[in-house]
């Protein structure tokens, strides 16, 4: 069994659903002060929004778009000890509209990190393997400290100062390729992003690509390392069958994001709250502003997830699919097992 030191995963990553009011409201019940919050309007076509404590409340970036950071005073206006406050934007709080928020705990506004050749500001939760990293681009080969004290297997980077694609490093693709969070493209081979160099337990490498290291631009990275029984980052191969691949994670998934790396397909995001029972795990797509879909592609099980639909974006025959999953431990160090679904 997969034992873990994280007995309560919802103290580190948690999904919170809510209904908008069109007026300022505090969303609570997250169980911690979130340091990164990713929003999606479920019942409408508003953009995805990400806010984090390192850049500061009101500063949004849009996962399904390559635009620069914008100040959104009527979006997320403040982080709180058990949640956040939203005002009246389409993306976060229209009256009677439904929303999803995915929340991660780091360590507030962050502190200086000099582990790399490029100085960074890092907010880190080493226990859960998550850090938020900010630096100023140099457009020359360098390294950036991430603070995890373990090797990140997935890194999502955005140049917040310019029109640039979101660059995604994923361990299963290796250090010569990347994906784009805001696009459906297959994996792209290029050496100007990571210089064909894998991250270490202290730094990741950025080369001259303007999406990861443009001169004078502010860069933000969300870094994820695996933690046994809590998070899993890997890949699987599709079989084009409604009896699809089972992916063992060693925990009961609460959040799964999937991208076909070998073909042009949308990203897919499911969680255990929408609707939260098999087979009704509704889909949102990070590369589009589209409404929530009831596609029922993935079963979330006690020790992993299983693909249950023959569709290209999760199960095309012979294609490789990258994923990142978070969830409840199968057996924690308190020797209490989770329940099956």
Encode pLDDT of 213-230 as tens digits: 999 999 999 999 999 999
Query: Which residues of the chain, if any, have pLDDT below 50?
Result: 335, 340-341
pLDDT at 333: 55
Instruction: Annotate 63-72 with b (16+ C-beta within 10 A) or e (fewer).
Output: bbbbbbbeeb
**Residues in CB range of 337: below 8 A, 6 or more apart:** 1, 330, 331
pLDDT of residue 339: 53
Specify the DSSP class assigned to residue 293: B
pLDDT at position 296 is 86
Domain extents for the chain?
111-224, 231-332
Task: Supply φ then ψ for residue 174, to 5 degrees.
Answer: 85, 180
Beta-bridge mates of residue 280 = 277
CB 28 within 8 Å of CB 8 = no
Check residue 335 and give its pLDDT: 47
Position 330 scores a pLDDT of 58
Residues comprising the chain, all counted: 341
CA pair distance 274, 12, nearest whole angstrom: 19
DSSP 9: G
CA atoms 296, 302, 323, 205: torsion sign: positive
Q: What is the pLDDT of residue 332?
A: 53
């Amino acid at each position: 069994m997969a034992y873990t030191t994280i007995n309560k995963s919802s103290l580190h990553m948690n999904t919170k659903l809510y209904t908008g009011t069109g007026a300022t409201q505090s969303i609570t019940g997250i169980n911690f002060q979130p340091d990164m919050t990713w929003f999606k309007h479920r019942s409408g076509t508003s953009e995805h929004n990400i806010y984090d404590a390192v850049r500061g409340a009101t500063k949004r970036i849009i996962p399904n778009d390559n635009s620069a950071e914008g100040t959104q005073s009527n979006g997320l206006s403040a982080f709180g000890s058990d949640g956040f406050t939203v005002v009246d934007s389409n993306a976060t709080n229209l009256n009677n509209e439904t929303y999803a928020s995915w929340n991660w705990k780091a360590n507030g506004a962050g502190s200086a990190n000099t582990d790399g050749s490029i100085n960074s500001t890092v907010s880190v939760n080493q226990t859960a393997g998550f850090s938020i990293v900010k630096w100023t681009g140099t457009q020359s080969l360098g390294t950036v400290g991430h603070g995890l004290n373990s090797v990140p297997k997935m890194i999502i980077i955005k140049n917040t100062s310019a029109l640039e694609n979101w660059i995604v490093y994923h361990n299963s693709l290796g250090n010569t390729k990347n994906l784009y969070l805001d696009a459906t493209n297959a994996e792209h081979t290029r050496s100007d992003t990571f210089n064909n160099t894998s991250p270490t337990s202290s730094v990741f490498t950025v080369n001259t690509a303007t999406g990861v290291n443009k001169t004078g631009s502010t860069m933000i990275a969300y870094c994820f390392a695996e933690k046994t029984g809590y998070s899993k980052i890997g890949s699987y191969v599709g079989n084009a069958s409604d009896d699809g691949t089972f992916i063992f994670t060693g925990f009961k998934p609460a959040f799964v994001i999937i991208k076909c790396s070998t073909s042009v397909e949308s990203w897919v995001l499911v969680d255990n709250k929408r609707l939260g029972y098999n087979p009704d795990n509704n889909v949102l797509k990070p590369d589009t502003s589209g409404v929530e879909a009831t596609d029922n592609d993935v079963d979330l099980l006690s020790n992993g997830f299983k693909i249950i639909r023959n569709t290209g974006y999760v199960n095309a025959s012979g294609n490789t699919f990258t994923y990142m999953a978070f969830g409840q431990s199968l057996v924690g160090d308190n020797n209490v097992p989770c329940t099956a679904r």
